[in-house]
Amino acid sequence: MVNRGAGSAGEERLARALEVLRGGAGVEVAVTGSPGELDDVVAARGTRRLVVAGGDGSVSAVVAALDRAGDLGDPLGIVPLGTGNDLAGALGLPDDPGAAARVVLEGTPRRLDLLRDDAGGVVVNAVHAGIGVRAAGEAARLKDRLGALAYPVGAALAGTGPGEALRVAVDGALVTVPDGRAADGDTPLLMVGVCNGPTIGGGTALAPGADPGDGLADVVVSAATGPAARVAFAAALLAGRHGDRDDVVVVRGREVTLSGGPVGLDADGDLLDPVPSRTWRVQPGAWSVPLPVAPPGSAGR
């Protein structure tokens, strides 16, 4: 399954993946560009396995289509061809399309969690609000030049406003940052991230401890809203030390509610319309992906 909007830049990489896949299975390429087209492919697939050639947004869209059809039982193959590929990176999938295609054919399925929201949507990697949404837009503009640095730099560039006064609750408890400020709907927040996987924006480790199969979401809340604090947060994020700041907290839980909007959201790299509130619940082991077979003796490393 290939996203029609992906353009021609990845055609050579796609051809390499198809070459390997066709060496081990019959292959039909489905090019889609809308949820309706995805639904049609899912409905017509019969006993064939699905493989997504794309990034987090493409994977998320196909998982959503399978979810709508009640058809998440079979493993979903992933060949990372997108600009972000954060979930694929977290899962240890090869960046080389031929090697990734080999994993589709020979890998061992692993059960993964979904973040399911109260509007019927699903998230496979991460959803974030606040400066994260604006940073994602800046990062898209900078990615060709800065690569993995694009998201932290985008976070530093994404405006100078006072933040957004949002309320954040995890498993029913209000989140409080170490400096004593509560995410109570009155305190301005720089960003909120609800993470199934550890990275966003093409490799920025927003939630380095997140595991997409542990049954928990990692919720990152930053209240670093002043100009100096904002720049310092971006630098700490780049260095992987933002969790040590007293205006940042990481909380793990199974249910996350964000309110106080309207607030814009970025879910798996796609911008969503602003909403007044949203709740996400972790659905453990909801779907599966073939992953590289660990070499003998590698357990526990």
Of 177-181, 234-238, 260-264, highest mean pLDDT: 177-181
Query: Do residues 37 and 182 both lie within one domain?
Result: no
**What's residue 201's pLDDT?**
81
294: which DSSP letter?
A: P
pLDDT tens by residue, 196-219? 999 988 888 999 999 999 999 999
Please compute the mean of the pLDDT values over residues 253-280 and round it to a whole number: 93
Q: Is residue 112 part of a domain?
A: no
pLDDT tens by residue, 223-261? 988 888 888 888 898 888 999 999 999 999 999 999 997
Query: Quick check: 238 and 226 in contact, CB under 8 A?
Result: no
Tell me the C-alpha distance between 80 and 145, whole Å: 20
Decide if pLDDT at 54 tops 90.
Answer: yes
Please classify residue 259 by burial: count the beta carbons closer than 10 Å to its beta carbon, then call 0-12 exposed, 13-18 middle and 19+ buried: middle
Query: Quick check: 158 and 164 in contact, CB under 8 A?
Result: no
Tell me the C-alpha distance between 207 and 43, whole Å: 36
Residues spanned by the domain of 52: 2-106
Overall domain count for the chain? 2
Query: Do residues 85 and 199 both lie within one domain?
Result: no
- Going by pLDDT thresholds of 50, 70 and 90, the confidence category of residue 20 is very high
Tell me the C-alpha distance between 130 and 193, whole Å: 9
Query: Quick check: 183 and 189 in contact, CB under 8 A?
Result: yes
**What's residue 271's pLDDT?**
84
- Give the length of the chain: 301
What DSSP letter does each residue of 240-283 carry, written as one string? Answer: T-GGGSTTEEEEEESEEEEEEEEEEEEETTEEEEEEEEEEEEEE
What mean pLDDT is reported for the chain?
89
- Going by pLDDT thresholds of 50, 70 and 90, the confidence category of residue 301 is very low
- CATH of residue 151: 2.60.200.40
- CATH of residue 19: 3.40.50.10330
Query: Do residues 47 and 168 both lie within one domain?
Result: no
Q: Is residue 133 part of a domain?
A: yes
Query: Quick check: 278 and 272 in contact, CB under 8 A?
Result: no
